[in-house]
Amino acid sequence: MSIFGPPNIEELKQKRDVKGLIRALGYVKDAKVRGGAAEALGELKDARAVEPLIGALKDRYTDVRKAAAEALGKIGAPAVELLIAALKDKRMDRYVHEAAAEALGKSGDARAIEPLIAALKDEDTDVRRYATKSLGEIGIPAVELLIAALKDEDRVVRRGAVKTLGELKDARAVEPLIAVLKDKNKYVREAAAEALGNLMDARAVEPLIGALKDKDADVCRKAAETLDKIGWKPGQNEAGAAYWIGKRDWEECIRIGVLAIEPLIAVLKDRDWCVRKAATEALGKIGDARAIESLLAALKDEDENVRIKAAEALGNIGDARAVEPLIAALKNQDVREVATEALGKIGTPAVEPLIAALKDAKWVWVVRREVVNALIHIYRAGQLDETDKKLIFAHRLEITSPHDDRSSGCGGDHTDIAAIEFPL
């Protein structure tokens, strides 16, 4: 090493001067020199460099640690035991663990498999990522242990094992990965669906069709994408509807029609309000009364967009069971207008309940106004029999009379005249 400047790494490498390169590995003034020395020692593959390179895994600079890890991987067998020790050493920081995990993968040594599987539960995301990648680099010798890891109690380990098995594309993993489609953790199930896509095995088709009905939307989507890769085509049936739900193609569900009802109802409980809203709208467009109970539940959804679509859907279906819930929904400001329109579409079954609501003094004036609008809409639609027409007409004065805020005690300064004139 020159006393007049930094060591010449290229010259030391050409001379195969391992001792000189080890000294350069400790050159504190320049991280590039240290990184270059680590890289050169990896190319020389001399076992004497193992311990100094293990020490370099603690370097403050990422590039130096990375170079040291790659070098240890190239040196291979002589470095494995020390790398395993570094990976397990809780006193080491995460950067050392990351570098050790990476190096073990590059070593290709089967002794590293079990420690790397254990590292899949490391608290640091990057350590887990490097461990997963390294197991994939070790390859076939890791398959059986990875399959065993699919039953680990830790979901992180299971997910890491799933991802690596997908990358290895070993046919032995197909059946175990199919079983994981029913894992209790959604992220593990999603990873299994993706991994099966890499394996491209026909045995996975039916289980993936089953996964289209998973309670989690992301798992359904991934199952649909994997079926695409395998070459499966959806039919005009429930499985096809579940596939299009996974792909978020709601128009295809509507085209399937009544056979799409059950899959659509199933996603009304999805955690994503956008999914619930779209499924509710699709059910309304299909217009089948078998969806009524589920749509009535959606009328109380925590998201106003879903509630609005539920009211709209109930109006499209026109079932009398929706009348009372829709009248109750008139009290909700966000749903009020759509509920009024829905009651107007339902028509005759809504007449008497609306008149009863009109007489309820407890209802606030804005709600009463919507009751009036619904009655007038039904009357003007011209689809009532004479009995219902006379019933509405008999209440024309109540419908058109101003709201008396003094007698009702609501404390407001307003009138409640219908927005449109009563049709004589």
* Neighbour tally for 173: CB within 10 Å: 27
Q: Are residues 265 and 373 in the same domain?
A: no
Question: Taking residues 27-50, what's their average pLDDT?
Answer: 90
Report the half-sphere exposure of 239 (CA within 13 A, side-chain side): 13
Q: Are residues 73 and 131 in the same domain?
A: yes
End of a domain among 283, 305, 337? 337
Domain assignment present for 222: no
Q: Are residues 320 and 371 in the same domain?
A: no
| Residue 3 banded pLDDT, cuts 50, 70, 90 | low
- The single residue listed with the structure tokens 């403050």 is 60
Domain assignment present for 63: yes
Do 209 and 202 touch, CB atoms closer than 8 A?
A: no
Q: CA 160 to CA 75: how far, in whole Å?
A: 26
End of a domain among 337, 364, 383? 337
User: Max Cα separation, the chain?
Assistant: 112
Give me the number of domains the chain comprises: 3
Per-residue model confidence as pLDDT tens digits over 220-237:
999 999 999 999 999 999
Q: Are residues 267 and 314 in the same domain?
A: yes
Domain assignment present for 228: no
Q: How far apart are the first and last CA of the chain?
A: 108
Q: Are residues 272 and 360 in the same domain?
A: no
End of a domain among 337, 363, 395? 337
Domain assignment present for 194: no
- The single residue listed with the structure tokens 């995301």 is 125
CATH of the domain at 304: 1.25.10.10
Q: Are residues 111 and 42 in the same domain?
A: yes
Q: CA 78 to CA 373: how far, in whole Å?
A: 86
Question: Taking residues 175-179, what's their average pLDDT?
Answer: 97
Q: Are residues 352 and 326 in the same domain?
A: no
Q: Are residues 411 and 329 in the same domain?
A: no
Q: Are residues 394 and 313 in the same domain?
A: no
Q: CA 389 to CA 393: how far, in whole Å?
A: 6
Q: Give residue 385's domain range.
A: 347-424
Domain assignment present for 191: no
Do 357 and 350 touch, CB atoms closer than 8 A?
A: no
Q: Are residues 320 and 367 in the same domain?
A: no
Return all residues near 333 (Cβ < 8 A) that are at least 6 apart.
Answer: 366
* Neighbour tally for 148: CB within 10 Å: 12
Q: Give me the numbers of helices (H) and strands (E) for the chain, helices first please.
A: 28, 0
Q: Are residues 290 and 358 in the same domain?
A: no
Amino acid at 337: E
Per-residue model confidence as pLDDT tens digits over 94-152:
878 888 888 888 888 889 889 988 888 888 888 888 888 888 888 888 898 889 889 98
Domain assignment present for 185: no
Q: Are residues 245 and 120 in the same domain?
A: no
Q: What is the pLDDT of residue 409?
A: 47
Q: What is the pLDDT of residue 4?
A: 59
